[in-house]
Amino acid sequence: MNIKYLIISIIGVLLISLGALLYTDNQDLKTTQLGLNNPNQANCISDECLAVDTLNYPAGNLTESAKTSLNKALDDEYKAQATYEVIINKLGNVRPFIMIIRAEEQHISSLKSLFDKYGMVIPQNPYAGKVTSPATLTEACKAGVSAEIANVALYKENLLPVVKDYEDITLVFTNLMNASQQKHLVAFQKCD
């Protein structure tokens, strides 16, 4: 009987060790992908940058077209957030809106960090209290599909080409576009 418990204990320790190793490797991969193991002005877009003494902000000058692209991106994310908020207020805490509105808040935060990084003034959400909700969940889901398709096209066709010389902005825009295409759009296509 003691051998059985010993074997179970050994297996448990091995599983915990394997889980910790995989978690650490995943965190190292994320750190490497974002360039956080050696933050510099080009790749610094997260909270880890707050601890880097050698970075000065604003990080540099943006072209007017890059500034316009950041403003357009934030405007689109603000519109999505305001729209999903009125849908939730009208139809209740329905999925996927209650999940996607949280993602929109994260998208807005990512963009605001770029505004801060480049010393730009962050505009207020012009859509708050100015958008209306579709009458039914089915109509709201269809509106969500249309909005996410438009969001992907905006990033792919208009915004990303303009910021190709800015690694950090390109990374954020690409992540936001991929989230819209691979997660939000799929969720809206499945809902009704």
- 43 CB-near residues (< 8 Å, 6+ apart): 34, 35, 36, 167, 168, 171
**What percent of the chain has a predicted confidence (pLDDT) above 70?**
69
pLDDT in tens, 143-174: 888 888 998 899 999 998 999 988 888 888 89
Q: How far apart are CA 66 and CA 70, in angstroms?
A: 6
Among 47-56, 90-99, 111-120, 164-173, which stretch is predicted with the lowest mean pLDDT? 47-56
Task: Read off the CATH number of the domain in which 177 is found.
Answer: 1.20.1260.10
**What percent of the chain has a predicted confidence (pLDDT) above 90?**
13
Q: What is the model's pLDDT at position 55?
A: 56
Residues 18 and 95 in one domain: no
Q: What is the model's pLDDT at position 143?
A: 87
Q: How far apart are CA 78 and CA 76, in angstroms?
A: 5
pLDDT higher than threshold 80 for residue 142: yes
Residues 81 and 171 in one domain: yes
Residues 69 and 160 in one domain: yes
* Phi, psi of 120, rounded to the nearest 5 degrees: -95, 150
- 6 CB-near residues (< 8 Å, 6+ apart): none
Confidence of residue 75 (pLDDT cuts 50, 70, 90): very high
Residue 158 lies in a domain: yes
* Domains: count for the chain: 2
Q: What is the model's pLDDT at position 6?
A: 57
Residue 59 lies in a domain: no
pLDDT higher than threshold 90 for residue 4: no
Q: What is the model's pLDDT at position 73?
A: 92
Mean pLDDT of 130-149: 87
pLDDT: which is higher, 22 or 87 = 87
